[in-house]
Amino acid sequence: MESLTNIQQAPGKTMPIGSLSYSALTQLLRNPLIFKMKYILGVYDAKMSVSGMIGRAGHEALKVYYGGHPDIPVPKDRTEAIALAKETGLKFLDEFSDAYIEYGKTGSRESMLKGYTQAMDFYFAEEPEYHEILMSEKKLEGELRTLGGDLLPLPATGVPDLVHRRKDGAVEIIDTKFVTNFTDYETEDYIKIIQSQFMFHLLLASEGIKAERMLFREIKRTLNSNGNAGTPQIRDWAVPFDHEPYRIIFYNLYKDVAKFLSNDPIFLPNLSDPFDGEHAGLMYAQGLINADMSDVEVMHKVRDIAFTSKKFVASRLDRAENKNLLPEERIKVRLAEFGIPVEPVETRAGASVTQYRFRVSAGVRMTAIKKHKDDIAHALGAKGEIRIIAPIPGTTLVGVEVENETRTAPKLGKEHLKPGTLSLPIGINVSGECVSVPLSEMPHLLIAGTTGSGKSTLLHNIITALTKQMAPEEMELVLIDPKRVELAPFARKPHLRGKIIYEYDSAVRKLMEIADEMERRYRTLEKAGKRDIGEYNQSKRNAENRMPYITIVVDEFADLILRAGIEEKRRKINGYGQKSRPWLCKEMERRGQNVPHGITKAELVEALEELDAQDEMNRPDANIELLLVRLAQMARAVGIHLIIATQRPSTNVITGLIKANFPTRIALTTASPTDSEVILGKRGAEKLAGKGDMLFLHPANRGEVRLQGFTM
């Protein structure tokens, strides 16, 4: 054998690559032109086969499972670790564009996902036992030497799947391969022989570890004809490292590759290459490679032709036989094109939206479906916004909600009322059922919606339902309406506890009155030995001795909050000590007080402060937000409930205190995504259809429910 140290480069020439990997070596042997494109010019544009994709995904999964990813800790629980590994592989497949996958005539993303899932199931069902894993998917680099000490001409780089130390101390390199057929034990597989020698010498050069053998651990990703019983899905093909003929083959091949690369080679295409033959032929036919072109010119031309040679793949929905598919079938086809197999289960047509329900294939992540919302909308030709619920609360199904082209407006009727209760008919769900929730279960309600959203209609329907279900002696209403017009139709209702309140000061006084009533009721319950208003009223035979429920409805809560801020600033600015004596005298007279002759300024200030102390508007709790929060925290047990509404659910209006004490919320169409986040904790309400289309959030439900409100 010719000594490797005698390899000479042509004068003035350097190697076109700085190091050699096993994949680069095999690519050069299979298709020199594609080798140049990838490893010299750095253009990685060839498509991956389905088998290659499954293999890549499987390696990503096992890299995480065996601790090869420094940023992803491996769960100690085996079941959790397997789930994490499988999800990692699925994520890799999900993020890989179809433009770079060669499916062939019969392949599809769906079949690729199925193949990956089945292969991983087979692997973990027969998972090999390892004594000590020294490394997993660790990148190795080093200058290779023969066992005789000669330096090989090119540094090497590579990533072994696993390096394993057995109980007897011997080290073996493991290469995992996902295959459709096992390698015949009787064959001399020179691809594996060269790979094993490459990895043996690289591990020795990089880590100083001398392995005994390399195991090609083949996982057959198709089920054996006789099933799992009797025939395993995993089989090892071993290459020992003490077989000298294999080393001789490797050293000679390495020598010849180095000679080829060091002598200004011409990289010809292999047109019969089953993977890259067409691509190589296309580039060669375009005259991209010739002796007069620099590598930079070639690189740009290769990238241009790689871009322009992308094949357009028509959607299956464009085929003539699929023009009349039902919406749920169109959704199924579109998701299948992205490798997400689903099966339609049922369709529920509501007043404003139709919900299509699907069962999702094993191994598909719910979050993957949400990412394709726009693709589904395009497949359906949806004019409005669609919404994906993954999963539908209380089920394992995924829901796709699509706005109806023609919406029906359900009217609030007697069938929706529940006499003798504080139940609120909120709206109609996608199943056509009326959703009614007792106020006692809320126990307070926060409503937000911009102009045209249906907020006023919803408030009117709530008040109408309460007054029709409960007699005046059973429930009292407190209505606060800063705009003066929204709640005017209820001015003559016998349920009103006083008149409708329009002014800020009057609203504060009324809420303080209710707060005092709350304290009085608690003393009454304590004296009677009852826990809440329900127990107390049941113990009273005569209706006149029972406590009436009190429902406080506040429209445009934002106006009151903003006014509260103004009043607070005014009080701080208008301290009496800063005023002149004539101003103080006029203020005393305005309040109907005599001003004694010769009274000092200090005495005037003291007199006015005493008058303020007698005014309940100067009580420490004379603040709209504080009063509402106090009532929300304490008033439920004594039958006092709050319903507040606003067009502007900003953070300075719907504060953290308000949100914490109003867990039940309704978001109609909001003006912005930020407003939706304030009211619901997530975006989405800004894309509702208006006119009563709403998202209802209740503590008893897992997630918000879409409803269509009633018309008046």
Cα 692 from Cα 424, distance rounded (Å): 15
Higher-confidence position of 311 and 181: 181
**Res. 291: pLDDT tops 70:** no
* Average of per-residue pLDDT across 571-586: 75
* Average of per-residue pLDDT across 154-159: 94
**Res. 544: pLDDT tops 60:** yes
Cα 290 from Cα 36, distance rounded (Å): 13
pLDDT digits (tens, 9 = 90+) for 620-640: 567 888 899 999 999 999 999
Cα 477 from Cα 422, distance rounded (Å): 12
Residue whose C-alpha is closest to residue 664's, from 486, 428, 474, 448: 448
Q: How confident is the model at residue 614 (pLDDT cuts 50, 70, 90)?
A: low
Buried b / exposed e along 79-102 (16+ C-beta atoms within 10 A): eebbebbbebbbbbbbebeeeebb
pLDDT digits (tens, 9 = 90+) for 95-125: 887 777 888 777 788 888 889 999 999 999 9
Percent of the chain surpassing pLDDT 70:
88
pLDDT at 279: 67
**Res. 344: pLDDT tops 50:** yes
Phi, psi of 172 (to 5 degrees): -135, 145
Sheet of 132-136: strand order equals 132-136, 162-165, 171-179, 213-220, 234-240
Please tell me the least confidently modeled range out of 317-321, 494-498, 667-671: 317-321
pLDDT at 601: 86
What are the strands, taking DSSP E only, across 70-212?
A: 101-102, 132-136, 140-145, 151-158, 162-165, 171-179
Higher-confidence position of 592 and 642: 642
Tell me the C-alpha to C-alpha distance, in Å, between residue 398 and each of 101, 387, 414, 428, 515: 27, 11, 34, 20, 46
Distant-in-sequence, close-in-space partners of 181: CB < 8 Å, separation ≥ 6: 220
**Res. 8: pLDDT tops 60:** no
pLDDT at 407: 84
Q: Which domains does the chain have, with CATH numbers?
A: 316-403 (3.30.980.40), 422-560+622-708 (3.40.50.300), 561-615 (no CATH)
* Average of per-residue pLDDT across 526-541: 90
Q: How confident is the model at residue 516 (pLDDT cuts 50, 70, 90)?
A: very high
pLDDT at 299: 52
pLDDT at 285: 60
* Average of per-residue pLDDT across 253-279: 81
pLDDT at 4: 43
pLDDT at 574: 56
pLDDT at 96: 81
Q: List the alpha helices (DSSP H) in 575-683.
A: 581-590, 601-614, 624-634, 656-661, 673-680
Higher-confidence position of 305 and 499: 499
Highest mean pLDDT pick, 102-106, 310-314, 466-470: 466-470
Distant-in-sequence, close-in-space partners of 536: CB < 8 Å, separation ≥ 6: 524, 525, 528, 530, 546, 547
pLDDT at 169: 95
pLDDT at 221: 85
Residue whose C-alpha is closest to residue 220's, from 209, 204, 236: 236
* Strand 213-220 to 234-240 pairing: antiparallel
**Res. 708: pLDDT tops 50:** yes
Q: Which two tokens stand for residue 597?
A: 């002759």
**CB contact at 8 A, 456 and 481:** no
Highest mean pLDDT pick, 192-206, 583-597, 609-623: 192-206
* Average of per-residue pLDDT across 299-317: 55
Q: Give the number of other CB atoms < 10 A from CB of residue 234.
A: 16
Cα 135 from Cα 162, distance rounded (Å): 6
Highest mean pLDDT pick, 99-103, 281-285, 572-576: 99-103
Q: Which two tokens stand for residue 559?
A: 């106006």
Q: Which two tokens stand for residue 239?
A: 């290459």
Distant-in-sequence, close-in-space partners of 378: CB < 8 Å, separation ≥ 6: 334
**Res. 12: pLDDT tops 50:** no
Supply the DSSP symbol for 711: B
Provide the 3-class DSSP secondary structure of residue 88.
helix
Highest mean pLDDT pick, 120-134, 378-392, 403-417: 120-134
* Average of per-residue pLDDT across 51-60: 93
Cα 283 from Cα 559, distance rounded (Å): 70
